[in-house]
Homo-oligomer: A and B are copies of this chain.
Amino acid sequence: MSVADFRAELGDIPQEDNPRIVQQRSRDHYWYSPVLKAKLDHVSAEVVVSPRSTEEVKTVLRAAYRHGVAITPRGAGTGNYGQAMPLSGGAMLNMMNMDKVIEIKRDRVLAQAGAVLEKMDHETREAVGSELRFHPSTYRMASLGGFIAGGSGGVGSVRWGGLRNLGSILGLKIVTCEAEPRELGLVGEDVLKVAHAYGTNGIIVEAEMPLAPAYDWIDVIVGFDAFMDAARFAEAVALQDGLLVKEVSPCAAPIPEAYFNRHKPYLKDGQSVVLIMVAPVSMDSLALFVDHHKGEMRYRADLATEDEKRRLPPIYELAWNHTTLRALKIDNSITYLQTRYPTIEHVRRIVEMLGDELPMHIEMTRQDGVVTFSGLPMVRYTSEERLEEIIRIHEDNGCNVFNPHRYTLEEGGMKRTDHKQLAFKREADPKGMLNPGKMVAWENPDFDFNAGKAWLFDGLNAVRTA
């Protein structure tokens, strides 16, 4: 591996090798996890390369292949599990210079991988009154390619499910890492070969996404004295087919009063809340439904002054991973889990067993057509052992955990090899140069996912073809 030889072939493609800047660009939000923080703190690339076109991406990958330099693609770096952290050093491929929206139709948009989601929505709203079906809470920064490669769903998933659903990604254009890199167009189920693969088996350069109608969504906060009443209300709202909502998230006390600083004047101490984004056409019906459920309407953006709205972050920046982010800003002993509770009874049992050690935060989502409690509970972290115990308590009680304290693709939740992604890596990245260390099945095909020792896998190696 010669990074110098690699760099020499890049022509005028922008490069950055200031070590402080390179290290900064080698990180994502891995520090959400104390476990990952300890493991990944030292990780850094040697250079950041910022191509401005698909041709330049090909130039980079051609040179990387020839000189055995690891390539880790990165959008805005808003992932939480080190998805875009270069475990084997090499080059960080910064995609944020490729940020153009290429084509807008009323029901779909084609854009480059580095397009920022909020900016895309701004353009499509202006042009055709449409917007992306769903987005992460890092909407203002996150890139389209990064979301597809490292995300799964978010605000809007209560209506539209997630990225892995059929029809959620219409097409992808990727570049392979070979002697002569190819552009490949993937449509239909083939998009799943590279979606949520952390850039391990092809560099996403363009994506076509379906659009939903854009509305002036109204931020709403509803208070309940008991968390389970908040959870029941949240489920009921998500089940109301006639109520057009984009976000429904119950957060247990003391999360709101402790961490939603700027909303504090609207909150009541001791109350749990449900965060909601509702379409104007459904606002009156929602208000009625709140009354029926004996909730307290604590904030309605449609009744707020312009000045109030300016002071407050949007509701989606209290939700999804921003809930934990806000807590971490105030209390760095907080971490979190990603869970799924099959029924409200499972929620009740876990809340009862773990109490304030696990301040509950749920995102209502649709999963294959079924309204589901997707948990992002906070954890008051004491030790890795206790964290594992909390995971086991979930599993013993019939609740799923998608572990956000792992940086490999498979350990994060699948607990198995995705053979289509693995097979595609053989084709698109035969030397294993792309984001090495993230796909367990590539590094160690015999890995036993049932051994219960998933953590012991060590992806922090130099790239094996080097």
B284:A170 contact, CB within 8 angstroms = yes
Interface segment, one of A7-15, A160-168, A310-318, A427-435: A160-168
Which B residues touch A129, using CB under 8 A?
106, 129
Number of copies: 2
A159:B241 contact, CB within 8 angstroms = yes
* C-alpha spacing A371/B239, complex, angstroms: 11
Q: Which of A107, A280, A281, A282 has the most CB of B within 10 A?
A: A281
Within 8 Å of chain B (Cβ to Cβ): is A61? no
B241:A160 contact, CB within 8 angstroms = yes
A243:B167 contact, CB within 8 angstroms = yes
* C-alpha spacing A211/B129, complex, angstroms: 14
CB distance from A237 to the nearest CB of B (A): 9
Interface string of A112-123 (1 = CB under 8 A from B): 000000000000
With A129-B129, A368-B241 as contacts: A284 and B187 at CB distance below 8 Å: yes
* C-alpha spacing A211/B167, complex, angstroms: 23
With A106-B129, A107-B215, A288-B189 as contacts: A170 and B242 at CB distance below 8 Å: no
Which B residues touch A160, using CB under 8 A?
241-242
* C-alpha spacing A245/B168, complex, angstroms: 14
Within 8 Å of chain B (Cβ to Cβ): is A238? yes
Interface string of A98-114 (1 = CB under 8 A from B): 00000000111000000
Would you list which residues of chain A between 147 and 182 have a CB under 8 Å from chain B? 159-161, 165-168, 170
* C-alpha spacing A352/B289, complex, angstroms: 42
* C-alpha spacing A165/B239, complex, angstroms: 10
Within 8 Å of chain B (Cβ to Cβ): is A285? yes
B281:A239 contact, CB within 8 angstroms = no
Across the interface, name the chain B residue whose C-beta is closest to A209: B281
Would you list which residues of chain A between 273 and 324 have a CB under 8 Å from chain B? 279-282, 284-286, 288-289
B167:A282 contact, CB within 8 angstroms = yes
B239:A370 contact, CB within 8 angstroms = yes
Across the interface, name the chain B residue whose C-beta is closest to A210: B281
Which B residues touch A371, using CB under 8 A?
369
* C-alpha spacing A161/B368, complex, angstroms: 17
Q: List 21 A-B contacts (CB under 8 A).
A: A107-B279, A129-B129, A160-B241, A161-B241, A165-B242, A166-B240, A166-B288, A167-B240, A167-B242, A167-B244, A167-B285, A168-B242, A170-B284, A188-B284, A188-B285, A188-B288, A210-B242, A213-B213, A239-B370, A240-B369, A241-B367
